């Protein structure tokens, strides 16, 4: 891929002085919304325009991080079958902080390295979906505390390292439809058909909207509906081209 000398978009993370060489784009949406497909096609499009582009999800796992990921994925504190939930109350906080540790590694090691080496970095696992997941866990365990109080507390734990994208493309798919799509595809994290996920998704979707509403300047919504993957990717490309100041075709 050829580097375009005119493309030198930079951004800064909140509350830090770290400069990013790359424009950072995240593809947002609940499980089953089509994030991975959209990210791949958007990456191919931007590369065809001459931008050095990398689509990232999770980095190589080794050492402690490999052990941590294995524990979270294969021995989760939260049940993924039956009615779900945590075995004991304190498991929720342990699970939350373990996931935050892993996410901090992804963002500070994997994503920042990609930013130093490319002009555009596309993250295909929505960073704001993860924030909404953490918020939903906290809200489940603290039902008497309003989310508008919990979210700033969560931010206080992540603001020093959380990478806010220049552009967050939200694939807006209602969670029941996204769940059915995930079941039909038969791939992805966890078990999309589990009762646990069915019980969890309504609150997650509500909190997701709350998290996204905090970023009106960078979030762009695509109502997916019955649109095919090519049409969705084309709309995402329009948003990305605007960010990168590429003339409309």
Positive or negative: CA dihedral 103, 108, 110, 116: positive
What per-residue confidence (pLDDT) applies to 213?
Answer: 96
Residue closest to 169 by CA, chosen among 96, 102, 117, 222:
222
Q: Which long-range contacts (CB under 8 A, 24 or more apart) does 179-184 make?
A: 179/31, 179/32, 180/32, 181/32, 181/33, 181/34, 182/31, 182/32, 183/32
pLDDT at 151 (0 to 100): 93
- pTM comes to 0.86
Q: What is the CA radius of gyration of the chain?
A: 18
If one looks up domain 11-243 in CATH, what number appears?
Answer: 3.40.50.300
User: Which pLDDT score is estimated for 10?
Assistant: 35
Q: Which strands make up the sheet holding 219-223, listed edge to edge?
A: 53-56, 120-123, 23-28, 167-172, 219-223
What's the pLDDT at 187? 60
Give dist(CA 170, CA 232) in Å, integer. Answer: 11
Angle 90-201-233 from CA coordinates, rounded to 5°: 125
Q: Residue 14's pLDDT is what?
A: 39
The pLDDT, as a whole number, for residue 9 is 35
pLDDT of residue 69: 87
Per-block mean pLDDT, blocks of 10 residues, the chain (249 long): 33 38 94 94 97 88 86 80 77 91 91 93 94 93 88 93 96 94 75 81 95 96 94 97 89
Burial status of residue 121 (CB atoms within 10 A of its CB: 0-12, 13-18, 19 or more): buried
The pLDDT of residue 17 is 34
List b or e across 71-107, with b for residues whose CB sees 16 or more CB atoms inside 10 angstroms.
Answer: ebeeebbbeeeeebebeeeeebeebbebbbebbebbb
pLDDT value at position 206? 95
pLDDT score recorded for residue 207: 95
């Amino acid at each position: 891929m050829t580097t375009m000398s005119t493309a030198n978009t930079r951004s800064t993370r909140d509350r830090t002085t770290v400069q990013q060489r790359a424009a950072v784009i995240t593809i947002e949406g609940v499980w089953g919304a089509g994030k991975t497909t959209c990210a791949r096609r958007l990456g191919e499009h931007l590369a065809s325009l001459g931008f050095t582009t990398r689509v990232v999800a999770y980095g190589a796992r080794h050492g402690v991080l490999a052990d941590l990921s294995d524990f979270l994925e294969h021995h989760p504190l939260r049940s993924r079958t039956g009615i779900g939930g945590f075995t004991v109350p304190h498991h929720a906080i342990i699970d939350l902080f373990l996931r935050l540790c892993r996410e901090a590694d992804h963002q500070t090691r994997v994503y920042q390295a990609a930013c130093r080496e490319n002009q555009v970095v596309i993250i295909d696992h929505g960073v704001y979906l993860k924030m909404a997941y953490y918020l939903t866990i906290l809200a489940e365990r603290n039902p008497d505390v309003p989310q508008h109080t919990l979210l700033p507390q969560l931010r206080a734990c992540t603001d020093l390292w959380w990478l806010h994208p220049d552009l967050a493309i939200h694939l807006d798919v209602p969670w029941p439809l996204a769940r059915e799509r995930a079941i039909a595809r038969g791939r992805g994290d966890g078990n999309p058909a589990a009762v646990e996920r069915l019980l969890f998704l309504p609150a997650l979707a509500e909190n997701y909207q709350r998290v996204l509403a905090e970023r009106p300047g960078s979030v762009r919504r695509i109502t997916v509906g019955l649109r095919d993957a090519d049409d969705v990717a084309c709309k995402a490309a329009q948003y990305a081209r605007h960010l990168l100041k590429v003339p409309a075709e």
